[in-house]
Chain A
């Protein structure tokens, strides 16, 4: 029948008009010419894929000290302070303020209404309980030593190596909740840079659900933090994070989803980025650095970032021939670091003139002085005066870190300039090298690297060179150095503290336990789908500023 048809047609037409009218005020990004309308609103939405690797430990802030887990932790957690991605300056994040009169008692006040990803609010007890849990010996948390300065830390440690008897105390006396949004930290000794440290992953708060769970490792397969992204999937091939809608921090992310794709080999990830099948990679294979091949292949989609990483060569303290400081300085002066960094690393490394990375507050230029300059004649003189090195001088490295080339060049320089017999001793992997260093088995020298935990000159000095420190591979023990560290920690203001730390660094220049090699820059590449790619000085992605085109 005709009438119903006409009616239907009319109704359809009206419905169509209504729909287009509703859709009339759609956002500019939906127009066919893309978001290039030049308006001030940044492109939002989209998904990106990032090179990931298998985390060594569960995704708990205080469990993770390596890069693979660290990148994910950085995405889903927020801490008291946050480090600016450009300058590494500490900025308040969950904390409203951190105050102290004497650098020994700190009062932390939190912002109110900062939310966890499970809907609960971040309160003072979430910090205090998390830090106590991380410090408690039997929990075996790797970053536990970060809490050592807090009063009462020693009570939570296992009395013996096997931890046969658990410590009875599970809360440090130096931490006290004042009210819902504030707590105090009391350190055993004055620590002038404690606020700066609080942005490190060990200091994350944990939600109530974390403490309620029986198996924390199981809970952490889908962990809960207060950061801009929430983990929604965690498998052996990828870790997927989604934008947290109620993120309370200042820099909200532009993208909707991040997928950390697990790669076994950085070369595969690099190839994928070149082919635009992966969006971000932070590890360029060493062979691609030669002749800047990576820059050509990536064609404008590559960058270099100065990061807080330094590489040194440690001198074995069980080698009697290296006991003379002039011998060590002679070895340092006989190597042309400029040649190595320009030829082998294609300037992706910068020769070091001190023991501290240039990106941190407190860095002073050229603390090492003459001993770090290339002076072959003087080196030869010092070497001969010190009596020369009998036998083969070893340079120990790990074969799986791309160190063979520079170590060979290093040895050749010593052979040519000092007439030393030098050999590169490559252990099959990093684990074995660390084991041999730990057992104090190695003669000659061995490589060491340090990536900063927080942006302070103190982080390059105390954990590595303080007497008995966990990363003190050379067993360096200097009362003068320790005195300067203590004085710096007790200083009233950051400028005085930094001055004392610089004096401590000068003590290192006198004693020369290790030879500074180079500062490392991180090379990274990205696909043509993303914009505003930024990396912070910790070699981690700034996932909140990146946008999808």
Chain B
């Protein structure tokens, strides 16, 4: 197991280097002068542009700039963005909020998604099953911005149960956005769990467990569920990465100061340094989460071994 982990960690390095180069290339090859629009309705003065370009080495060839960047990256310095702030500081400011939001979303997904899926699975064909299938269908069909804006309007503005925006990013403020974010994944997880559970309930070992006299709860909850969760864990692992970097719409509606909106704003501002830095961190996060998911398989189903 230890060797496996080390091998996986070593494999991450060429991936990070490769993706960082691709991202760097894509961002800085894009047309558009980063000084446009920074000066209001008039073009920036020549002196301003010259100072800007000198500060960020924008006149060197791309390869040179990439290696300068890589050198700093290996020292843990993600560079200074076009607002004069260190990218590391900007991300450190926003990651706690994003992590909190993602945590709430994942908890929502696990609680509601798996519970609904289990209930639907054990009572296949009955009322509960149909209810879950129908409601998840509705959740999948409704776009996230409708869900978000609607929740904000009803629970925030009209009923006043939750704060309207989550500017400070406290746990309480992030409850509603977390629910909204998790809602879509709840639908998928519920369906995955249900299907997987239904399949496993028909298998031999469950029949054996029940004929041995084991209670329904123990047979399902302890034995069948563990195996059913494998596709679900895969899905949740993939969605963690998406939630961390992609919650742009939810972040915008609720004014959450998270990583997703930071990337979006940096792209808009042509702030290449921020985009590259933030995306590389996301790549690393994604790789680590994937590693954890792979390790989790071994825990869930001992038949799966990693070597």
Q: Is A128 an interface residue (CB 8 A)?
A: no
16 inter-chain pairs at a CB distance below 8 angstroms, sorted by A residue, are A65-B42, A139-B51, A163-B47, A235-B93, A264-B265, A265-B252, A267-B253, A268-B165, A271-B156, A274-B157, A429-B37, A431-B36, A431-B269, A434-B37, A449-B41, A470-B43
Name the one of A268, A277, A435, A471 contacting B42, with C-beta atoms under 8 angstroms.
A471
Count CB-based A-B contacts (< 8 Å). Answer: 133
Q: Mark A256-287, 1 if CB is under 8 A from B, else 0.
A: 00000111110111011011011000000000
> In chain B, residues 20-40, which have Cβ atoms closer than 8 Å to a Cβ of chain A?
32-33, 36-40
Bound Cα distance A235, B85 (Å): 11
Name the one of B51, B160, B167, B168 contacting A275, with C-beta atoms under 8 angstroms.
B160
Name the one of B33, B45, B85, B93 contacting A435, with C-beta atoms under 8 angstroms.
B33
* Segment at the interface with B among A154-162, A454-462, A528-536: A154-162
Name the one of B36, B39, B168 contacting A142, with C-beta atoms under 8 angstroms.
B39
Query: Do A470 and B42 touch across chains, with their CB atoms under 8 A apart?
Result: yes
The distance from the CB of A436 to the nearest CB of chain B, in whole angstroms, is: 10
B interface residues, how many (CB within 8 angstroms): 46
Known: A277-B165, A449-B41. A265 touches B47 (CB 8 A): no
Q: Is B254 an interface residue (CB 8 A)?
A: yes
> In chain B, residues 133-160, which have Cβ atoms closer than 8 Å to a Cβ of chain A?
152, 156-157, 160
Query: Do B36 and A268 touch across chains, with their CB atoms under 8 A apart?
Result: no
Query: Do B39 and A271 touch across chains, with their CB atoms under 8 A apart?
Result: no
Chain A residue at smallest Cβ distance from B160: A275
Taking beta carbons and an 8 Å cutoff, which residues of B are in contact with A?
A: 32-33, 36-52, 83-85, 90, 93-94, 152, 156-157, 160, 163-165, 167-169, 251-255, 257, 261, 265, 268-270
Query: Do B163 and A163 touch across chains, with their CB atoms under 8 A apart?
Result: no
Bound Cα distance A158, B52 (Å): 15
Residues in A with CB closer than 8 Å to B253 are 265, 267-268
The distance from the CB of A306 to the nearest CB of chain B, in whole angstroms, is: 20
Name the one of B50, B84, B168 contacting A162, with C-beta atoms under 8 angstroms.
B50
The distance from the CB of A158 to the nearest CB of chain B, in whole angstroms, is: 5
Chain A residue at smallest Cβ distance from B256: A264
Residues in A with CB closer than 8 Å to B169 are 237
Q: Is A432 an interface residue (CB 8 A)?
A: yes
Bound Cα distance A161, B254 (Å): 44
Residues in B with CB closer than 8 Å to A450 are 41
Residues in A with CB closer than 8 Å to B37 are 429-431, 434-435
Known: A268-B252, A432-B36, A435-B36. A137 touches B47 (CB 8 A): yes
Query: Do B257 and A277 touch across chains, with their CB atoms under 8 A apart?
Result: no
Query: Do A431 and B270 touch across chains, with their CB atoms under 8 A apart?
Result: yes
Residues in A with CB closer than 8 Å to B39 are 65-66, 142
A interface residues, how many (CB within 8 angstroms): 53
The list of the 10 closest CB pairs from A to B, nearest first, reads: A431-B37, A140-B51, A268-B255, A140-B48, A431-B36, A65-B40, A163-B50, A137-B47, A275-B164, A471-B42
Bound Cα distance A14, B268 (Å): 68
Q: Is A56 an interface residue (CB 8 A)?
A: yes
Q: Is A217 an interface residue (CB 8 A)?
A: yes
Q: Is A58 an interface residue (CB 8 A)?
A: yes
Residues in B with CB closer than 8 Å to A470 are 42-43, 45
Query: Do B50 and A275 touch across chains, with their CB atoms under 8 A apart?
Result: no
Query: Do A236 and B164 touch across chains, with their CB atoms under 8 A apart?
Result: no
Residues in B with CB closer than 8 Å to A429 are 37, 268
Query: Do B90 and A236 touch across chains, with their CB atoms under 8 A apart?
Result: yes
Bound Cα distance A40, B252 (Å): 44
Residues in A with CB closer than 8 Å to B38 are 56-57, 66, 142
